[in-house]
Amino acid sequence: MSKLVAKLLLTVAVISSINAGPLHASCRIKWIFGIPCSDVKQKIVNQFEAWKGPENCKSGGEKCLYTLTSQSDTEIKGIHETPVKHYKDDLTFTLKSSGDICNVDGYSTSEIWYAILDSSTNYCNLHNLITGSGLDKVPGYTETTSDSVCTQYSSADCEKY
């Protein structure tokens, strides 16, 4: 058993050094929106609700099967399930007000402990909610992430995912 664990750890180390990203399939994104956090929160919550069922899965994408699990004034939590293999990712949006500016930290992580690469699914989980809600069109919008904190970010194709 110890040889198997050693091989697994070596594989993770090699893949991580090649990928130069997180050791686990996940993504961190920072956004700035030039509108109050209450408006940002409502738009994200509404998008979770709009994409909660399997209807949008029929087009072949993954803009579907989102589940809102909790919300407060400063945090939104949910799950996204992939439509084909039914993998689940945990999503968290943390909102911080600065006057009429809203700073949001987004995080998506695979529930599967051994997931290393994800074809940028965790990035798209978060990005799709923001673009689907129209938040990418509000004044002052910026999005910041990188391959070092977001698995396979630079190869993302969120129309597919």
Q: Which pLDDT belongs to residue 60?
A: 81
Q: Which pLDDT belongs to residue 2?
A: 67
Q: Which pLDDT belongs to residue 56?
A: 86
| CA pair distance 112, 118, nearest whole angstrom | 11
Sorted by sequence, the CB contacts under 8 Å of residue 126 that are 6+ apart come out as 27, 29, 91, 93, 106, 107, 108
| CA pair distance 119, 98, nearest whole angstrom | 34
Q: What is the pTM of this model?
A: 0.86
> Domain residue spans in the chain?
2-155
Q: Which CATH architecture has domain 2-155?
A: 2-Layer Sandwich (3.30)
Q: Which pLDDT belongs to residue 134?
A: 98
Of residues 113, 141, 104, 146, the one with CA closest to residue 25: 113
| CA pair distance 112, 59, nearest whole angstrom | 26
Mean pLDDT, each 10-residue run in order, the chain (161 residues):
60 50 91 98 98 89 95 98 94 96 98 92 97 97 97 92 66
